[in-house]
Amino acid sequence: DIQMTQSPSSLSASVGDRVTITCRASQGISNYLAWFQQKPGKAPKSLIYGASNLQSGVPSKFSGSGSGTDFTLTIRSLQPEDFATYYCQQYNSYPHTFGQGTKLEIK
């Protein structure tokens, strides 16, 4: 199985900040990488697919980059609604695997 490792596991930031979350795959996955946002008690919401493509309706403050094994999710100008847990997921090979999550909290 491909291991997905996110860093950091938790992150404190202030409204207006720009933050970056990193996701590393244990082997190359091309750009078959997705990012999800999950709020407590809710289903995950897809933000990005193909490492850098925004899902329809997702604001451009979210951006993704990377290819191969190293990927990043950047969120600029944090707003209160952005504080949530973020997951990466590879879908290059089976089983599709998720990172352990990054909890973004308000400082």
Partner 1 sequence: QVQLQESGPGLVKPSQTLSLTCNVSGGSISSDSYYWNWIRQPAGKGLEWIGRIYTSGSTSYNPSLKGRVTISVDTSKNQFSLKLSSVTAADTAVYYCASASGYLGYFGMDVWGQGTTVTVSS
Residue 51 Cβ vs partner 1, minimum distance, rounded to whole Å: 10
Bridge pairing between strands 10-13 and 102-106: parallel
CA distances (Å), origin 19, targets 28, 31, 88, 93: 25, 21, 15, 29
Residue 74 exposure: Cα atoms within 13 Å on the Cβ side: 10
- Closest to partner 1 by CB, 80 or 95: 95
- For position 1 contacting partner 1 by CB under 8 A, the verdict is yes
- For position 45 contacting partner 1 by CB under 8 A, the verdict is yes
Tokens found for residue 66 = 């990377």
Residue 16 Cβ vs partner 1, minimum distance, rounded to whole Å: 28
Residues engaged in binding partner 1 (CB under 8 A): 1, 32, 34, 36, 38, 42-46, 48-50, 55-56, 87, 89, 91, 94-101
